[in-house]
């Protein structure tokens, strides 16, 4: 299995580490993966970030999507 998180269970299932150790390893790997994704996204010039707590967020997304659809 190659999905995120599965390989963290291997040592636990084989009895090589405790449940708590496995959970800690899993958390560390998830955080590292999230940081890697954010690094990748920041390098992409066409990514538009929207503050979802800001006012008018859905309307701003709708406008951008409509502009994108008109170019296709």
Q: Tokens for 31, please give them.
A: 């955080």
Q: Give the DSSP per-residue string, 13-54.
A: HTTSS-HHHHHHHHHHHHHHHHHHHHHHHHH-TT-----TTS
Q: How confident is the model at residue 70 (pLDDT cuts 50, 70, 90)?
A: very high
Check whether 56 has a pLDDT greater than 70: yes
Under a CB-based contact definition with an 8 Å cutoff, are residues 29 and 4 in contact?
yes
Average pLDDT over residues 52-68: 90
pTM of the model: 0.63
Q: What is the pLDDT of residues 1-48, one digit of tens each?
A: 567 778 889 999 999 999 999 999 999 999 999 999 999 999 998 888
């Amino acid at each position: 299995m190659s999905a995120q998180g599965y390989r963290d269970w291997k040592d636990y299932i084989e009895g090589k580490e405790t449940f708590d150790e496995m959970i800690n390893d899993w958390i560390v790997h998830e955080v590292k993966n999230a940081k890697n994704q954010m690094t990748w996204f920041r390098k992409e010039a066409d990514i538009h970030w929207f503050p979802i707590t800001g006012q008018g967020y859905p309307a701003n997304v709708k406008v951008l999507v409509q502009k994108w659809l008109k170019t296709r």
